[in-house]
Structure 1
Amino acid sequence: MQADGNNLSRPLILLALSRLTEKDIGELSEFFRKNTKEDARIVLRQIENYLSTRKASAEDYDEYIDDTYKAYVEDIYRNIEHNTQLTKLSIRETTKSLYEFLSIEYPNRNIRPFNTKSGLRSWIARLLSEVSPSEILHALAIIREHANDAPERSWKLR
């Protein structure tokens, strides 16, 4: 995709993945009309710095995450719950397996283990800052596949 000789594929794909509303697109367009490239670069770097330095908490999930991002979190949450039903693994076992798989698969990313104190949704939100929803869903599918290959347990996990 070319526009005015500049390759816009990557930024446009990222914008499309963010599922902007018509209002968001209008506001973004207005921002770029009113500001210079340097202004936009400064604002983007400030946002990146903020996101990389703050510590996520349960309050962050509700206060700072937009509806589109919450939809991704909820989708992953439902998939983790579904995985636990299919595999008979607990949430803790599923998140541990997910953490271990993603840490091995993506060693250069800052993936942290699940902490029950911060909650599953907050953990998923932090996880999505390092890996894409499709990468998480792929990992869950592999975990499910391997768990179903394991011999039946003679006891049930709580």
Structure 2
Amino acid sequence: MPHLRIRLAAASDLDSLVELEFSAFKLDRISKRSFRDLLASSAATILVAELKGSMIGSAVLLANARTSVIRLYSIAVAEGARGKGVATKLLEDALRRAAHAGAVRFRLETRFDNLDAQHLFEKAGLKPFDNVDGYYEDGARAIRYERILSNDTVS
């Protein structure tokens, strides 16, 4: 997607992040309060995908200081921008940032019935390693994914 810009979120993005989250997900949404806390947290990195000044995607990364794991907590793309490579660009940027930060593992969870997300993650080299029954608000099972990071991820 030409002219797509990935940048770090700022406090001024709060309302747009919440709007995107609530339009992208029916359940298990990040609340405004949680986004506010994430924006202020040194353990969180929020990426924003912009096209012509409009937010069309976001990704939330969480780092655990005690481990070498960075977790993709959420990735959201506006409905009209889906299928155009926005999630791929966000994920590529997230993987680069995780490797650059010294993480050894990059992990995430996705719903068992979210086949598009599973395809995206597997295409990016993530491998399923666990299932968690009842993970989501509606009781749905999660598939946990992981990718071992290396120096070549940084480039």
Quickly name the TM-score band, shorter chain normalised. Answer: under 0.3
TM-score (norm. length: structure 2): 0.23
Q: Which structure would you say has the larger RCO, counting Cα contacts within 8 Å and 6 or more residues apart?
A: 1
> If each structure's helix is expressed as a fraction of its own residues, which one has the higher value?
1
TM-score (norm. length: structure 1): 0.23
> If each structure's strand is expressed as a fraction of its own residues, which one has the higher value?
2
